């Protein structure tokens, strides 16, 4: 009988440094995404062929995988040094897109957010999100190193620093008329503030005030639009709120899109109509309204399974966060989790009429290269945590000395 070989140190180390659970979750989402894009392009898209849509998205997935492999090679010290450079490059791209934005996309979406060269389009705010996360993580670690013990004064100072780094991004996104993406950055900011050690004496009134502002904004949309227009709100943004509050009011524009999405999801009932059996037309289904494909074809059960996969992915990322011994990594993972969680919450919420339409894609599923690359960079940062944290643990383990 042949003696069973004991795994070498290198084999054990390599196997444990890579988080196969996260890879599997993203792979399953990618398969669901390609299947959903196939259905959307096959039934609802008049501008893009099925083959072109699938090939284009597959290329973006390959580029995303390369980005993950590349990013996970950087350890915490290298990411720390890269953070200001990445943030500065992101700000530069957000400025340049205001000058060289795609006129066609601006007319179509109302936002000056895309570069366009031939058939290639790119939205710089999507790759700015990981850079923003790195920068905020660095700011919090620097502050906590300077102020070892928290106080109300030092906590307000930290919030001020984080807001100062957020302000340029918010201004540039406001100039682009990209309110939906701005909300993602605020969600990332809120998540990092929440875990930064800021006292509840500040957090409670801070988040309470943010909630009141949101409620006040909804009231002003109904009764004080002139005031909101004075501070820069646009007519299409009011239309989206109207579509959310009363999706049956109109037969065109945003109301039509939301109503068709709700009809498609409702027609799926419990188990769905079956793969590629779509009977309800939904505009822009392959990107913003991709969840309507899953709801129609696979029903309530299919939608619940998709949400469970996202919860599993987020749970695995939280596990990596608890396993890490590096404070900087912990803030990075918090930012990535908040980014993906907000995208999922907002996209599914707007598809079923619980939240206003914002044009936020569903992570790893919606068609679109910029958003996919941004999310894959986030996954790369999480993979880097496990990759280098496990390497550190093995190198300091008695078993392998």
The pLDDT, as a whole number, for residue 392 is: 44
Q: 258 and 243 in contact (C-beta within 8 Å)? A: yes
286 backbone dihedrals φ, ψ, rounded to 5°: -70, -15
| Listed residue (126, 172, 163) closest to 143, CA to CA | 163
Query: Does residue 247 sit in helix, strand or coil?
Result: coil
Quick one: pLDDT at residue 30? 95
- Give residues with Cβ within 8 angstroms of 328, minimum separation 6: 76, 79, 80, 137, 138, 141
Question: Tokens at residue 251, please?
Answer: 């037969």
Query: Strand, helix or coil at 80?
Result: helix
Reported pTM: 0.87
Provide the b/e sequence for 213-230 (b: ≥16 CB within 10 Å).
Answer: eeeeeeeebeeeeeebee
DSSP code per residue over 204-239: HHHHHHHHHHHHHHHHHHHH-HHHHHHTT--HHHHH
Which parts of the chain have pLDDT scores under 50? Answer: 1-3, 11-12, 391-401
What tokens does 133 get?
Answer: 């996360």
What pLDDT does residue 1 have? 43
Query: Bridge partners of 122?
Result: 115
CB 346 within 8 A of CB 41: no
Q: What is the pLDDT of residues 316-344, one digit of tens each?
A: 999 888 888 788 999 999 999 999 999 99
Q: Under a CB-based contact definition with an 8 Å cutoff, are residues 95 and 83 in contact?
A: no
């Amino acid at each position: 009988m042949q003696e069973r070989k004991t795994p070498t140190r290198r084999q054990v180390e390599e196997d444990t440094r890579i988080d196969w659970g996260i890879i599997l979750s993203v792979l399953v989402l990618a398969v669901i995404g390609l299947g959903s894009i196939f259905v959307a392009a096959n039934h609802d898209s008049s501008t893009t062929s099925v083959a072109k849509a699938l090939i284009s998205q597959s290329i973006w997935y390959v580029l995303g995988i390369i980005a993950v492999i590349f990013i996970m090679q950087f350890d915490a010290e290298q990411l720390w040094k890269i953070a200001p450079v990445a943030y500065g490059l992101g700000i530069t791209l957000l400025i340049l897109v205001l000058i060289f934005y795609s006129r066609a996309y601006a007319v179509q979406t109302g936002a000056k957010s895309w570069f366009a060269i031939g058939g290639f389009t790119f939205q710089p705010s999507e790759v700015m999100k990981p850079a923003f996360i790195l920068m905020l993580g660095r700011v919090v670690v620097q502050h906590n190193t300077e102020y070892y013990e928290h106080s109300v004064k030092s906590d307000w100072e930290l919030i001020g620093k984080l807001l100062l780094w957020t302000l340029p991004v918010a201004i540039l996104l406001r100039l682009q008329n990209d309110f939906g993406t701005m909300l993602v950055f605020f969600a990332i900011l809120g998540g990092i503030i929440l875990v930064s050690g800021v006292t509840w004496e500040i957090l409670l009134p801070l988040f309470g005030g943010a909630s009141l502002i949101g409620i006040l904004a909804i009231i002003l949309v109904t009764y004080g639009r002139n005031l909101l227009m004075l501070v820069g709100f646009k007519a299409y943004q009011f239309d989206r709120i109207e579509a959310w509050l009363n999706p049956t009011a109109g037969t065109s524009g945003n109301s039509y899109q939301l109503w068709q999405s709700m009809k498609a999801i409702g027609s799926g009932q419990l188990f769905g109509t079956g793969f590629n059996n779509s009977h309800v037309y939904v505009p822009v289904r392959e990107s913003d309204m991709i969840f309507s494909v899953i709801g129609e074809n696979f029903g309530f059960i299919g939608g619940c399974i998709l949400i469970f996969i996202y919860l599993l992915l987020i749970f695995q990322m939280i596990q990596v966060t608890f396993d890490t011994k590096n404070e900087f990594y912990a803030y990075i993972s918090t930012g990535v989790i908040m980014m993906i969680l907000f995208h999922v919450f907002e996209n599914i919420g707007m598809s079923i009429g619980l939240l206003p339409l914002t044009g936020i894609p569903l992570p790893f599923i919606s068609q679109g290269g910029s958003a996919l690359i941004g999310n894959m960079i986030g996954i790369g940062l999480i993979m880097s945590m496990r990759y280098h944290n496990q390497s550190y643990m093995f190198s300091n383990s008695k078993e392998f000395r």
